[in-house]
Amino acid sequence: MKIPLSALLMVALASHASLAATRLVEPQLKLEKQPKGAVPRVALTFDACSGRTDERILSTLIDNNIPATIFVTARWLKRNNAAIAAFKAHPDLFEIENHGAMHVPAVDQPVSIYGIPAAGSPKAVEAEVAGGAAAIEEQGLTPHWFRGATAKYSLSSIGQIRQMGFRVAGYSVNGDGGSLLGASAAEKRIAASKDGDVIIAHINQPAHAAGPGVVKGILDLKARGYAFVRLDDATEDGSDETTN
């Protein structure tokens, strides 16, 4: 049966209206700024979505005694025992937080973000958040923060995640463009960070060109005298009711 063009147009318009009605936010997160004359500081946060471990980044953090907050999925935890052991061996450096069960955007409406279907309902958001937390707890750790896949949310899903007991981790500097930047671009972005910035990058793409740039950007900040803190070791201010 041939579907009339007018009917197809109505379906397309309805789909567009539904997507437009779902307001998505990408929350900002910054640290409280240091007093004038104090050492500037930033927070390094890394997503471990799936796949393996970027040892270039992990070894740099350990060798230079640089703390970081690592957001891990349940999927990634299953395949990276050596990295998990390294995290546990350096509890002074690494804070392990929740990136979800299956790396599904924590949005309670049926939308697609960067081509990734969102959870689509409050029940599915709960499963994504709770499943990620359970996997971390099985490692003997307790997560306090959540960052969803794509770092985009609906305001209602932020409220739901907060009610589940988690602060939602935004960021202020996208250090590696989803791990898709070249080394030079990643280095420049991270090295340009200012006091109070929360940097996001990825620690699960060992074959991507961004990794060496992430390393150089971090070492650039260190050479300039910057201090590094984990999220739980600082006072933060997040937009969209993500931390208050």
CATH number, domain at 186?
3.20.20.370
What is the rounded CA–CA span in Å between residue 200 and residue 176? Answer: 7
Report yes or no on 101 lying in a domain: yes
Report yes or no on 3 lying in a domain: no
Report yes or no on 16 lying in a domain: no
Report yes or no on 11 lying in a domain: no
Report yes or no on 225 lying in a domain: yes
Report yes or no on whether pTM surpasses 0.85. Answer: yes
pLDDT at 14: 42
Report yes or no on 18 lying in a domain: no
pLDDT at 21: 55
Structural domain span for residue 128 = 25-238
The share of the chain scoring above pLDDT 70, in percent, equals 91
- The arithmetic mean of pLDDT across residues 174-197, rounded, is 98
Report yes or no on 4 lying in a domain: no
Report yes or no on 156 lying in a domain: yes
In total, how many domains does the chain have? Answer: 1
